[in-house]
Structure 1
Amino acid sequence: MSRPNGHTTAGIEDTVRDFWANRPVRPRAGAKLGGVSAALGSRYGIDPVLVRVAFVVGTFYGGAGLVLYLLGWLLFPKEGTGKPGEVGSRSTSGPMLVLLVLLLVPALFAVADLAGLFGLVLGGLGLYLLHRHHRDRPSAPVAAQQREQGTTGEQSTAGEQATAGDANTWVYPGTNRSSTAGDTERTDPPSWDPLGAAPFAWDLPEPGEQSPEPEPPRTHRRSVTLITLALALLAGGLGVAIGMSPADAVAVGLAVLGAGMIVGAFVQGGRGLIGFAIPVAALAMLLSVLPTPWRGFTSEEVRPDTIGEVRDTYTGSVGNIELHLDDLRFADEQQLATSAHIGLGNISVYLPPNVDATVRCSTGGMGAVDCLGEQREGRDLRVETTDLGADGPGGGTIALDLTADTGNVEVFRG
């Protein structure tokens, strides 16, 4: 099957094979890190800034952006240095190859979740569509080599024509016109030389009217940005309406922004989406570590006068919870049990000096615990301890269950 313009519709296998044979070349100039974004921008005629933002957003979205960038660094050849005897591009050096493989292995393990796999598929699909629609566009090093060869060839051809012609043939200085001895000379001056000051150039054609400047092609840059933003807001709002968590709804909006930037790469637009994608990606990362449902910001300092005033549980999404229980007075058989949970923040509890305490301190993500002197730092911490106080057994009993998803948990004696 053929297209109207004569090009043959390429299948998936042909497109992939052609991409590998004509894959982007990482330039020596304009590269920020490995030159992958600059290579893609130069090869397919898109803004490298959009490509860099897509890699950054993809890194936040499951780590796929980091894996795709390392693969590009590993597989895209480097532009030659231009030294004598060196032509075209060259492969990645041995030490750099080893380093990239060492970085790629842990990065692949980081994208083992659904979001990472979706990001890899989306990135691969975007690259496939780019090459399918712009496969005939040469990369910058190839185009420069063609221009250099074309210029040299034209100059050589012009010189050969000027010297290998008839002895009576000569070229007007500064022009491409030639004249022979048999040409009829003009006797009347042309309109552009009414005083007859340049008779040697009278046989040049009359200057025509300058053609009007061509109108710049109409683009849809602003439309791509506005339509994508509207769709992102609609998708996020619809996600909340059907019961998605805030983190999932923001992730859906971020995916729509990413799709809009891919579309913008084809129409040379959508650069305004960069300013929205970066904070949305940061918000998605923040919401991913917060508990569900969202309970707002918390800054709670509790100082009860009696045991009865202590609640069964204290919770918050982001902030600090302080329980000052050191002023409470316990009878020998009196018991108290309470818990506290914070999504992102700190929990601090102060106990009376003589009460018997059974305490469990834990964190879900990164954090630290100081549970009646037992200190630990890291991820997924669990510390359980029993302390009988300064006077030994007796003096009442208190049980605490304290958890911070990301943050610090501290228990001290008053």
Structure 2
Amino acid sequence: MPSPDQLPVISRPRTGALAGGVCAGLARRWQLDPNLLRIAVVVLTFFGGLGLVAYAACLLLMPREGSTEVPLRRLLPFTRTWPNRTLVVVTIAAAVALVAAVGTQGIGLGPMVVIFCVWFFGIRGRNVHTAPPQRSEPTPFEREAEHWRQRLVEQDTPGYVEAAAPAAPLAAAGEQRWTQPYTEPASDLAVRDDDLPVKGSRPARRRWRLWWLALTLAGGAVLAVTVLGHLGLPATPLAYAAAVLAGFGVTLVVSTWTRRPPLLLPVTLLTAVATASMLVTSLGVRVPDAGERAYSFRSGADLPASIELQAGELTVDLSRLELASDQSLSVHVGAGQLNLVVPSGVTTQVDWTVKAGEYNATGTSVGESRGGFDLEGSTPYPAGGGGTHTLRVVAEVGLGELDVKR
């Protein structure tokens, strides 16, 4: 099994992952405790959402274990031709721009403090406290080799039967020609009484003692929020949840030197999720609609007025659409790919716009393919069967690719 430094890419493992496997994958590569990175992500979330943005960026760039496909390439197909270095640089730039736009205040030196804590408690602490001791004693294999060498030398000791003359009869079959001298067995290979498992013994159980520290720290933080509330500062539910999360997080850091108490990690994660939900609600941040969507419509009664996807791949199949009157449809994709299939029995007018990316159209008398910035145009698709009704489609892609075909 290759060492973490020899891995070709940083992948997200399928075992030991709590959410997306980002912290577990980075911890495996850097040889850290994954809980330390999870705490850092939660703490950095309170600095302008930096933790969530960084986690999302890593989630888009780190493939699953056993796969080499970057999730961002599957989410945005037009990036499959980009070099890996360009993809990473663009993703980091987008993450920095998002943090600057959403949370420009309250960042300060906080992230630097968190990074220092990860280095001090994780990398530096591990190198100082868990450095492997120098091996001065010989290994069991070396002991056995030395014993065997001594046995070969001791063949000349009394008890070794040497041939007296060429005419001397050979020893009878099965007769021992020399007596093996006594050598003390290697102590490392011998089974001793104290090495045997004690009957009825159980593995060491994790103690609940650190829960007192967690509850004390959380209670003290809640009391501090209450006192600050009486002094005029806002004591919101978000502040109380953050106080409890801080107490549990400090206890998790302390538990890296001892055995982690039971249930502390899941309780801390639940508190972090609740705190993050309150933070998103308080900031009024809308959860983006992302992923892969596909719609197919056959009648004008089922056709909506608009379809929107903020990030991902959207497919709108209108190939079997039948209209009883003139209708219009607006389709918008923020970042990703839009696949539009226009009907053959309905006269269709496609007004399209691509802010940055590519536009490809097939099914017309002359195919069209364009790429660049601020692309726009209007493409007619006459009805093949002489339909009397018209469908007007407004297709817009912010960043990505637009494919229109019949």
Scaled by the length of structure 1, what TM-score is found?
0.39
TM-score, normalising length: structure 2: 0.40
